Structure 1
Amino acid sequence: MTKYSIEEFLKQTEQEEKGEGLFELETPRLLEVNLEKQVWAKSGSMVAYEGQIKFEREGLLEHGLGKTFKKAFTGEGASLMKATGQGKLYLADTGKKVIILHLQNDVIFVNGNDLLAFEPSVKWDIKLMKRVAGMMAGGLFNIRCEGTGMIAITTHYEPLTIRVTPGEPVITDPNATVAWSGSLQPTIQTDITLKTFLGRGSGESIQMKFEGEGFVVVQPYEEVWMNSNS
């Protein structure tokens, strides 16, 4: 069998049974969901599936009127789809790295564009941060995930987790910030010096400041936020 034969290609890329449970990484950039009942996933993230699975867009009032108003207000692109049934579901998001987290009565905030999938047992809510004119299209929002269950988040390239300790605040670029622990409440600040250096229109003059005790996850990439209504 030659190095580049079809047989060798199949050997290197064929789906494997890892037996890791509901969520498992088929590859670093592809999430396999061993679906038995239901899961929520980012709309448009399905790349393949096996079995009897039905897909539905998130109902207008499915998660309550408050969340519907927030989504309309933010114009955010993190609309959800509900996958119901039994089978194997493969999810991905523009080739981004997939990270699986098993929440155990935990709280974590995730950038609204970086939440790929989660179990129905995980409670979630959209949180709006202070809107700053010219910061980014659609504003800045995140999703609060709470409870016990599996969630999958995505990052561009390898993520870095920075510990936040009392008296040692961590400052991040909003476009590179992926997630942070539920114990932290970031504030928005403007770096006047940086703004002068980069020009008035630069988003990098806007920063997120994390104080207290917890962690923040960043990626080596500045995400371009798009307004889903545009």
Structure 2
Amino acid sequence: MAGPWRFATLRVVRGDIFKAENMAQPPTQAGMSLQHSKCVKYAVNGEVLARQGAMVAFRGNLQFEVKSQGVGNFLKRAVTGEGVSLMAVRGQGEVWFASGAADCFILDLEPNDALSINGRNVICFDPSLRYDIQMVRGAGMFGGGLFNCVFTGQGRLAIVSEGAPIVIPVSPQAPVCVDTDAVVGWSSSLQTTIQKNQSLKSMLRGGSGELFQLALQGQGFVIVQPSEGKPAPAQASSGGGLLGNVLGG
């Protein structure tokens, strides 16, 4: 059992919850780190961008503001019906981000990297990264299109996965097909198409509706979570569960 913890009342409280791995420690450097597997900590000395609703705690002199999405993304929102629900956290202090106790991971992007990420899996990212809402290539068969967020530049990006993710290499000799509701993201250099598998629809999901997969070809990787995510609300765009929530709830 962990040692006692003394509150201002001098009452001694004991319990495993006070183990060292659960205790918030003073930051050693600015930027992003894992508090533990379910929570991302960001030591702010300037600014960090995050999905609205992802903040669970903070301390210090911090201000939270709705992030302007820019004219281009505003127009895309008008067309797609999708919102870019970002907030900017500015000042000096510490802030903790999480999403439904999902597993958290930090990705390091180099200047030549480009990742296409499902908005609902984004937690926070460095302001040095650029992002853009883009239609998933090959997804024109859906009336409203299918949209994802593409990150480029140099910096760190925190994402979540509902369960331990699977990272699958993709090569010209070994293309990969993934469930459109389970995909987290992929190398944006990959070629994508949407496939409809009639033979599987009678075996999966009770045989209701068509079963779509996202097919990826080229050289790179795809990240898949062992979950199909939460059901999309009825008013969601016709893009359905596939990457429908572009940096939004």
- Whether these two folds match at TM > 0.5 is yes
Aligned to 2:24: 15
Q: Quick one: which of 39, 46, 49 aligns to 1:30? A: 39
- Which AA in structure 2 matches 1:112? G
Mapped partners of 1:2, 1:27: distance in 2: 17
Shift, 1:21, TM fit? 4.4
Matched, 1:70 2:76: yes
Q: Quick one: which of 121, 128, 131 aligns to 1:121? A: 128
What are structure 2's unaligned runs of at least 5 residues?
Answer: 5-11, 237-249
Mapped partners of 1:148, 1:229: distance in 2: 36
Compared CA separation, residues 140 and 223, structure 1 to 2 (3 A): farther
Paired residues for 1:92-111 under 5 Å = 92-105=98-111, 106-111=113-118
1:74-120 C-alpha deviation (Å, 9 max, x unpaired): 33355111111110001111111111011111111101211111111
Matched, 1:184 2:190: yes
- Which AA in structure 2 matches 1:40? L
Matched, 1:39 2:48: yes
SS of alignment partner, residue 201 of structure 2: helix
Q: Detail structure 1 runs of 4+ shifted over 4 Å in the superposition.
A: 1-5, 131-134, 227-230
Compared CA separation, residues 2 and 116, structure 1 to 2 (3 A): closer
Shift, 1:19, TM fit? 3.1
After superposing the two structures, state which structure 1 stretch, 94-103 or 18-27, moved more. 18-27
SS of alignment partner, residue 181 of structure 2: helix
Instruction: Tell me how many residue pairs correspond in the alignment.
Output: 222
Tell me if structure 1 keeps the 8 A contact 2:34–2:40. Answer: yes
SS of alignment partner, residue 73 of structure 2: helix
- Which AA in structure 2 matches 1:110? I
- Which AA in structure 2 matches 1:124? Y
Mapped partners of 1:80, 1:113: distance in 2: 12
- Which AA in structure 1 matches 2:123? L
Shift, 1:20, TM fit? 6.0
- Which AA in structure 1 matches 2:23? E
1:10-61 C-alpha deviation (Å, 9 max, x unpaired): 23421134636410100111110000001110001111100011111123xx
Larger Rg: 2
Mapped partners of 1:176, 1:100: distance in 2: 19
What are structure 1's unaligned runs of at least 5 residues?
Answer: none
Aligned to 2:67: 58
1:175-220 C-alpha deviation (Å, 9 max, x unpaired): 1100111221311111121134443425xx1100000110000010
Shift, 1:223, TM fit? 1.4
Compared CA separation, residues 2 and 50, structure 1 to 2 (3 A): closer
Identical aligned pairs, as a percentage? 36
Mapped partners of 1:167, 1:20: distance in 2: 43
Aligned to 2:178: 172
Normalization by structure 1: what TM-score?
Answer: 0.86
RMSD of Structure 2 on Structure 1 (CA): 2.5
Mapped partners of 2:75, 2:212: distance in 1: 26
